[in-house]
Amino acid sequence: MRTNLLTVNEFEAAARIIRVGGLVGIPTETVYGLGANGLNPLAVDRIFQAKGRPQDNPLILHIPDPSWLERYCQDIPKSAWQLAKRFWPGPLTMILRRKSIVPDVVTAGLDTVGMRCPAHSVCRAVIQAAGVPVAAPSGNLSGKPSPTTARHMLDDMDGRINAILDGGDCQVGVESTIIDLTCRPPRLLRPGGVPLEELQAVLGEVEVDPAVVRPLDEGEKPRAPGMKYRHYAPKAPVTVVRGDPLRSAQYILDHITASYWEGVICFNEFAHWFEDHPVEQLGGSLDRFEHARRLFRALRAMDENGVKHIWAQCPDTDGMGLAVVNRLNKASGFHIVDA
């Protein structure tokens, strides 16, 4: 199959492909997604094949407007409408009880479904024109860092899907925040583009799923099935160095060998310390939105440089930091050291 690159002007062609059961890469404000008609089981099945995704890992449905929630969900709590009002369109996915119209293959047989109303204008135009909810996981091959540019998605998906709609670089850079509203208190399943603190301001108490902050023990079952897989992983092993920025940079300087094949992901202030190595800058040490925007790009760039080991400075967990730290920890298989 040949994968066509479409421009934003061709959004109707993308919608047509979705309507007839094909697969299209679509830009969202978080990361690129691999979209298909969420009501067509055969089309949804193709997503799993193209990504090499385990069948027990459910997909989320993308809708153009909060009013669509009632088509696919039941027992919708008041909190869902409050969150929709505050954060939609935007990088928030809500887990709600599903209606039977949602195919089993979307939810991996669960009685809940993840719902998201994305903010990217091109993405919204595609969903509107398709006229169906769009099932879309991140557009990477299973296990790899999510794509934040059309080219990154093409690197993974060329020949596996019908088209990719190039809507520019993703502005958030990490995936949506996932909140489960089917339990009390609501539970954060994945930190993402909407910071935990902002959810707490609307919901009050929010429980943080253990899978967000630590590796699960053997036999422990995560609430978001996807959280159990090694993820966001570049080819080279990653060591995450925690601690205040000056100390973590010093730690890396003390432990990195002279080999050119050790790469560093660091805050801008420290890039010149590592001149003899491949370096990817995350942004200034306090610019948490920039860290999110650049993280996956940095991990992919390290792969392209062919490095054998990656050292990464770790931000703190305030605001967007929680999502960045979560992705870094998973990319490293929780190989974390304290500086």
In the complex, which residues of this chain contact Mg ion (CB under 5 A)?
Answer: 138
115: helix, strand or coil = strand
296: helix, strand or coil = helix
Q: Please say which residue, 124 or 223, places its beta carbon nearer to ligand TXA.
A: 223
Please report which helix (H) or strand (E) contains residue 41, including its range: helix 41-51
Q: Is residue 28 part of the contact set for ligand TXA (CB under 6 A)?
A: yes
Q: Is residue 33 part of the contact set for ligand TXA (CB under 6 A)?
A: yes
Q: Please say which residue, 59 or 310, places its beta carbon nearer to ligand TXA.
A: 59
Q: Is residue 326 part of the contact set for ligand TXA (CB under 6 A)?
A: no
> How many whole angstroms separate alpha carbon 301 and alpha carbon 173?
15
What DSSP designation does 138 have? B
Q: According to CB under 6 A, which one of 30, 40, 162, 332 is a site residue for ligand TXA? A: 30
Q: Please say which residue, 116 or 291, places its beta carbon nearer to ligand TXA.
A: 116
Q: Please say which residue, 91 or 186, places its beta carbon nearer to ligand TXA.
A: 91
Q: Is residue 171 part of the contact set for ligand TXA (CB under 6 A)?
A: no
β-pairing, 177-180 vs 60-62, is: unpaired
Nearest position to ligand TXA, beta carbon: 226
Q: Is residue 170 part of the contact set for ligand TXA (CB under 6 A)?
A: no
What's the closest the beta carbon of residue 32 comes to ligand TXA, in angstroms? 7
**Among Mg ion, ligand TXA, none, what binds residue 107 when CB lies within 5 to 8 Å by partner kind?**
ligand TXA
Nearest to 209 by CA among 180, 175, 240, 242: 180
What's the closest the beta carbon of residue 57 comes to Mg ion, in angstroms? 9
Residues 122-161 that bind ligand TXA (CB under 6 A): 136-138
The most distant pair of C-alpha atoms in the chain lies apart, rounded to whole Å, by 59
List all residues 6 or more positions away from 197 whose beta carbon is below 8 Å from its beta carbon.
318, 319
> How many whole angstroms separate alpha carbon 270 and alpha carbon 251?
12
Residue 307 C-beta-side C-alpha neighbours within 13 Å: 31
| Inter-CA distances, 127 with 10, 18, 34, 64, 110, Å | 13, 9, 13, 6, 24
- Stretch of residues binding ligand TXA (CB under 6 A), selected from 28-36, 77-85, 212-220, 295-303: 28-36
**Among ligand TXA, Mg ion, none, what binds residue 178 when CB lies within 5 to 8 Å by partner kind?**
ligand TXA
The residues of the shown chain that bind ligand TXA, judged by CB under 6 A, are 28, 30-31, 33, 57-60, 91, 93, 95, 107, 110, 112-114, 116, 118, 136-138, 175-176, 178, 189, 223-227
